[in-house]
Structure 1
Amino acid sequence: MNRRIVLAAAGGLLAATTAAAQTPRIRASEIDGHLRFLSSDLLEGRAPATRGGRLATEYIASQLRAAGVEPGVNGGYFQQVPIDIVGADPASIRVQTGGRSAGTLRYPEDVVVWAGSASEASAANAEIVFVGYGSKAPEYRWDDFKGMDLRGKVLMVLVNDAPASAAEPDLFGGRAMTYYGRWTYKFEEAERQGAAGMLIVHTSEQAGYPWHTVVGSWAKEQRMLPRDANLPAPLGFRGWITDSAATAVLRGAGMDLADLRRRAESRDFRPVATGVTLNVGFRNTVQHLQSENVVGVVRGSDRALADQYVSYSAHWDHLGIGPAVRGDSIYNGASDNASGVADLLAIARAAAQGPRTKRSQLFVFVTAEESGLLGSEFFARNPTVPVASIVANLNVDGGNVLGTTTNFSVLGENKSTLGASLAGMVRGRGWRLTPDDHPERGHFYRSDHFSFAKAGVPAVSIGAGNAFEGRPAGWGAEQEEDYNAHRYHQPSDEYRADWDLRGAVQLSELVLDFGAMLANAATLPDWSRDAEFRRPAASRE
C-alpha cells in the first residue's frame, strides 16, 4: 500500500479514536428527549396503575433494553407491585361541642381526609384529643401520650418535631427533622395508639409546602400497598386540617391553639381532651390493581464482587389527573420526577456502554413514591437481589434543569460514610457539598432512598445545590422557593424548552462517577456510629 495512504489511514484512525474519547458520556439532548416524553400530556401525569403509568414503565424498559442494560427481574424488567386505589367522597364533616352542633368543616378548603385503608367505608364519631407532636421517642425521653387511653379517639397533632431549645439544642435533631416529625410516622403511631382517626394541623412554614399542595396530593384517589396483617388496626380516616380551621374548632371549645402549641413544647405535656366531637363518614371506591417497578442491571466484571450491588433509584410516578388549576388537570411532574428518571436512564446507558465496574450496578425505577414511597418500600421488602448484597443506594429525585452549579446537596450526608466519600470526589473537581437549606422539612424521609435506608442500606439522595454558575448569589434559593410555592405537585410542573440541561449532565455524570467509584472500591460504605439504620455487624460482612 502507498505510504501516504497508510499514513492517512493511521491519522484518520487516531482522529476517530481521539474524537470518541472526547465524546461526552452523557448528552443534554439525550436527557431532553427522555424528559420531553415522560412529562408529556400523553402520559396523563404518570399515576401508578393507569394507562399513563404503564406507558411510562414500558418506555423506561425499552430504553434500558436499547442501552444494553440487562433485565433485573427473573428475565424481565418489571417487578409487579400490588396497589390498592381508594377513592373517597367525604360528604360532610360535622363538629359538635357540648352536644350541640358547631358547624361543618369545608372539604377541601378547611380539611382534607381520606381512607385509612382499602375499606368500602370510612367513619369516625369521636372526641378530638390534642396530642401535641404525637411522638413517642424513648431515645429523647419524650412521650406525648403519657399512657392515656386513646382508643377510638380522633387525634389532633402538630406537624414536624417538637422544637429544640437553648437547653437542649440537639432535641429531635435540632433544626433537622427526624422521622418522628414525618406525617407517615404520625399516622403509624396513631394506629399503634388505637385511634379512630387523625388530623395533622398544617402550616406552610412547618410543613414546607402550602395548603394547595395538600389538596393536590390528598384530595383525590389514594394509593396504598395491601395492608400487612401483622399491623395494628387501621385508622378510620387520615387527614390534614388548616391552622385557621383548627384554631376555630378549638376556640369553640374555649381553647387556644397557640397556647396548646406552647404547652406541647415541653416533656411534661399531656394529651388534652377537647370536648369537641368530630363526625366523619364517607363511602370509598376500592380497586385492587398492580403497578410496576422497573429494574435493570449492569453486571460487574469481578467474579468475587459481581454479586454485590451499587443501586440507583428514581421514582417514575407522579399524581396523574387531579383537581384542575387554571383549567389544567394533568399533573405532569416534569421536575418531579421525569427529570430524575431522564438522568437515571442516561446514567444506566453510560454504565452499560462504558468500562464495567467490579461490582454490579442495579437500576431501580420505582412506582408510587408520591403515595408514600410505596414502590421503593415494596422493593426493599421484596428485593430482586439479597438486600444484604446492596452496598449503597444513590437516589435522584429532581434533576437539575437550571444550569451548572458549584455545589451539590446530599440528603443523608452525615448519616453514613457516603457523604464524606462524595465530598472528597467533588472537592477534587473544585465543587463542594452544602448542607440541606431546610433540614426542618425532613427531606431525607421524603424520597425513595429512605426505603433503602430502613432496610439497612447506606443511602443518599444527590441533587444540585443552589450556587449556579453565572447567576447572582441567592438566585438558586429563590428558584427553589418559587417552585415550591407555584409548581410543586401542581399541573404547572411542566416541561420548558428554555431549561438549561447542562446542569442535568453535570449531575448525572457526578452520580455515574460516584457509583462507579463505590462499585470499584476496596471497602464498603457504612453507617455512622449513631445512625438509626445501622445494620448489625454480622449482616455487613
Structure 2
Amino acid sequence: MKKLILASVLSALAIPSFAHSDKSPVGLDLDKYRTHVKTLASDEYGGRAPLSAGETLTLNYIEAEFKKIGLKPGFGDRYLQPVPLAKVTADQNMTLNIGSLNLTNGTEFTARTQQISERIKLENSEVVFVGYGINAPEYGWNDYQGIDVKDKTVIVLVNDPGFATQNAALFKGNAMTYYGRWTYKYEEAARQGAKAVFIVHETAPAAYGWGVVQNSNTGSKFTLIDDDNNLSQVGVMGWIQHQNAKQIFAEAGLDYEQQKQKAAKPNFKAVSLKTTANLALNNTIERAQSYNIMALLPGSDRADEMVVMHAHWDHLGTRTDKKGVKHIYNGAVDNASGVAGVLELARIFSLRAKEQPFKRSILFTSFTAEETGLIGAQHFAKQPPIPTKKIVSFLNIDGMNVNNSVDYILRYGEGVSEMEHYLNDAAKHQDRFVKGDPLPQNGLMFRSDHFALAQEGVPGLLFMSLGDTDPDYIAHKYHKEADDYDPNWTLGGVRQDISLISDILATLANNDDWPKWLEESDFKNRRTQDGK
C-alpha cells in the first residue's frame, strides 16, 4: 500500500475534508454525543445486558437513530441480525474441593461452562499443572508434550513466557500474544481433552484485579450454540486466586513460584499435583435470541465492497448481591461512549454522502455480548451480510477519551497490518504522534470485537483510550459500578478522535486499496485464501 498523507488523498478524490482548521470534524455535535452516552448509560437501561429489558431499550434507541439519520437496514431488509444464545446461569452455591482445600466461589475461585448442560461434575479428577497451557509449534513450545490430560483438571498460568521472562526472544517478549489470553487457554485445553481448566490469577500478567474476574465469571453468562451443544468445549472454565494456588502446590510438596519459573523456560514438563478436584456445577439453561444491529450507507461505484465502523453495545447489566441490593453496571465509557461515537460518525457520513456519495459502502454496526467473549462479533464473522472477502477493514471503538484532547493516538499491535499506515497518516494530519500500546502485556488487541473479524482475515484498527488518558479508570471504574456518565467530561478527546477516525473511514470508502497483513499469521493466511 502506498503511504499517503490523508489530506492529499481527500483532495485528490475531491472530497471535502472532515476537519476544520482546528481539527474538529465537520458536523460533529457534541451535545448529541453527550445525549447518546447519558441515555445509554442511564439506570433505566440497567447496564445493557444481553437478553434483558436494557437490550430492548438499547436496540430501539440505536435503530431509531439510524432511521433518523436516513441509513438503510444493514442485514437484508432489517437492522437487526439475530444471534442465537444460550444463557447459562450456574448455581453460585458451589465449592471447589482440591485435596484438603475447600475453596469458596467468588472470593477464591470462579467456575462456569459454555457447554449446554444442566450439570457438570468433577469427581476425583486428577489435577495437573501444565505451565502456560500453550501448544505453539511456530515458537517451538508445547506444554502438553508427553502428557495425556484427557478428562483431567489442568491448572495453567495466565499470559505467556515472553511476559514472564521479559525476554524479547521468547514469544513477543513483554507484549502478550494470543497464546497468553484466557480464551486460548480454554480452547487449547479442550483440544487436549481436559475436563476442567483453572487459570491462576495474578494481577500483573492478567492485567486486571480479581474483582474483574469475579464480576465477569459469576452469575449468568452467554454463549453461542453449535450443532453439538458446545460439548467440544472444555467442561469447566475457571480461575483460582493466586494465594489458593500456592496452597494447592504446597499440599503437593511443590513451591508455586519455583514451578512458575520452570514453566517459563523451554522444554517445561507438565507436573501432576498428586491430588484430585471435585466440583458440582449446576446450571440453568435458557435458550434465547439476542441481536446485533447494523445500518448501511450504500456506496456508488463499488457498493459490494464494505468498510465497517463498529462499537459493541452491551455491558454487564444489573446484579443483586446476597443482601438483595441491586448494582447497576452502566458502562458509560465501556462502551456507551463508543456507540455514541458510531452514531455521530453515521450522522456525519450520511450528511456528507448527500453532497457526494462514497464509492464503497459503509456498514455501521453495534454487536451484542462482547463482554462475554466477543460472541456477537463471532456470529457476525461467521454469518456476515456479505462475504468477509468483501470487507475492506473493520474499525472498532471500545471506549473513547471523554476527557481532554491529547497529542497522541494509541496503536494496538505493531507490524500487524497496513492499517497502521492509515493510523500514522491520520495522526500526522492532526499533528499528533502515534504512541505504541503502553501495556502490550495486557493483550488488548485480542480483547475486543475486531479480533473476531481478524480471525476471519479482515484487518482493522482498535480505538481505545481506557486507562491511558484516565489512569484511575482501570483501577476503580473498569467493569465496576463507577463507570457512569459524568456531565463534567470535556469531550476534547472525543472531538479529535472522531475527526481522526473520519479521515481513515473516508479514505477507505473512496480508494481502491485492500490493506494487507504484515506479519505471518493465520489472519494473513485466511485473507489470502479469501482472495485478497
Structure-1-length-normalised TM-score: 0.89
Residues 44-193 of structure 1 mapped to structure 2, 5 A cutoff = 44-97=46-99, 102-125=100-123, 126-163=125-162, 169-193=168-192
CA deviations on 1:429-473 (whole Å, 9 max, x unpaired) are: 21111100100010000000001100111111123498xxxxxxx
Corresponding residue for residue 33 of structure 2 = 31
Contact 2:393 2:460 in 1 (8 A): yes
Deviation of the 1:235 alpha carbon: 2.3
Corresponding residue for residue 498 of structure 1 = 488
CA deviations on 1:337-390 (whole Å, 9 max, x unpaired) are: 000000011001111111321111011110000000000000000001111100
Which range is displaced more, 322-331 or 528-537? 322-331
The amino acid that maps onto 1:322 is: R
Corresponding residue for residue 322 of structure 1 = 319
Which range is displaced more, 260-269 or 505-514? 505-514
Contact 2:445 2:451 in 1 (8 A): yes
Instruction: Determine whether 1:306 maps to 2:303.
Output: yes
Corresponding residue for residue 203 of structure 2 = 204
In structure 2, the CA distance between the partners of 1:460 and 1:23, relative to structure 1 (3 Å rule), is closer
Distance in 2 (alpha carbons) for counterparts of 1:229 and 1:164: 36
Corresponding residue for residue 287 of structure 2 = 288
Residues 200-239 of structure 1 mapped to structure 2, 5 A cutoff = 200-229=199-228, 233-239=232-238
The amino acid that maps onto 1:40 is: S
Which range is displaced more, 183-192 or 323-332? 323-332
Distance in 2 (alpha carbons) for counterparts of 1:295 and 1:385: 13
Contact 1:387 1:455 in 2 (8 A): yes
SS in 1 for 2:67: helix
The share of aligned pairs that are identical, in percent, is 37
Which range is displaced more, 410-419 or 187-196? 410-419
Distance in 1 (alpha carbons) for counterparts of 2:92 and 2:466: 41
Deviation of the 1:532 alpha carbon: 3.5
CA deviations on 1:243-300 (whole Å, 9 max, x unpaired) are: 0011112212211110110110112211100012110003111100010000111011
SS in 1 for 2:311: strand
Residues 418-457 of structure 1 mapped to structure 2, 5 A cutoff = 418-457=419-458
Distance in 2 (alpha carbons) for counterparts of 1:149 and 1:538: 34
Distance in 1 (alpha carbons) for counterparts of 2:379 and 2:286: 18
Corresponding residue for residue 525 of structure 1 = 515
In structure 2, the CA distance between the partners of 1:178 and 1:232, relative to structure 1 (3 Å rule), is farther
Deviation of the 1:119 alpha carbon: 0.9
SS in 1 for 2:522: coil
Corresponding residue for residue 401 of structure 2 = 400
Deviation of the 1:403 alpha carbon: 1.6
The amino acid that maps onto 1:539 is: D
Deviation of the 1:323 alpha carbon: 5.2
Which range is displaced more, 54-63 or 365-374? 54-63
Unaligned runs of 5+ in 2: 1-19
Deviation of the 1:413 alpha carbon: 4.7
Corresponding residue for residue 337 of structure 1 = 335
Contact 1:191 1:232 in 2 (8 A): no
Corresponding residue for residue 3 of structure 1 = none
The amino acid that maps onto 1:117 is: Q
Contact 2:312 2:368 in 1 (8 A): yes
Distance in 2 (alpha carbons) for counterparts of 1:276 and 1:415: 43
Contact 2:466 2:474 in 1 (8 A): no
Distance in 2 (alpha carbons) for counterparts of 1:60 and 1:238: 34
Deviation of the 1:428 alpha carbon: 2.5
Contact 1:117 1:236 in 2 (8 A): yes
The amino acid that maps onto 2:256 is: L
Deviation of the 1:495 alpha carbon: 0.8
Work out which of the two has the higher radius of gyration on C-alpha atoms and give 1 or 2: 1
Distance in 1 (alpha carbons) for counterparts of 2:60 and 2:522: 37
Deviation of the 1:229 alpha carbon: 3.2
CA deviations on 1:92-126 (whole Å, 9 max, x unpaired) are: 424353xxxx1310111100111241211121121
Corresponding residue for residue 9 of structure 1 = none
Deviation of the 1:538 alpha carbon: 5.8
Distance in 1 (alpha carbons) for counterparts of 2:527 and 2:215: 40
SS in 2 for 1:279: strand
Contact 1:408 1:465 in 2 (8 A): no
SS in 2 for 1:308: strand
SS in 2 for 1:180: helix
The amino acid that maps onto 2:72 is: E
CA deviations on 1:300-359 (whole Å, 9 max, x unpaired) are: 122xx1210111111000011125599651110111000000001100111111132111
Distance in 2 (alpha carbons) for counterparts of 1:322 and 1:45: 9
Distance in 1 (alpha carbons) for counterparts of 2:496 and 2:145: 51
Contact 1:45 1:332 in 2 (8 A): yes
Distance in 1 (alpha carbons) for counterparts of 2:68 and 2:171: 47
Instruction: Determine whether 1:353 maps to 2:355.
Output: no
Instruction: Determine whether 1:516 maps to 2:517.
Output: no
CA RMSD of aligned residues (A): 2.1
Corresponding residue for residue 540 of structure 1 = 531
Distance in 2 (alpha carbons) for counterparts of 1:401 and 1:320: 22
In structure 2, the CA distance between the partners of 1:122 and 1:538, relative to structure 1 (3 Å rule), is closer
Unaligned runs of 5+ in 1: 1-17, 467-475
Contact 1:124 1:236 in 2 (8 A): no
In structure 2, the CA distance between the partners of 1:421 and 1:167, relative to structure 1 (3 Å rule), is closer
Deviation of the 1:168 alpha carbon: 5.6
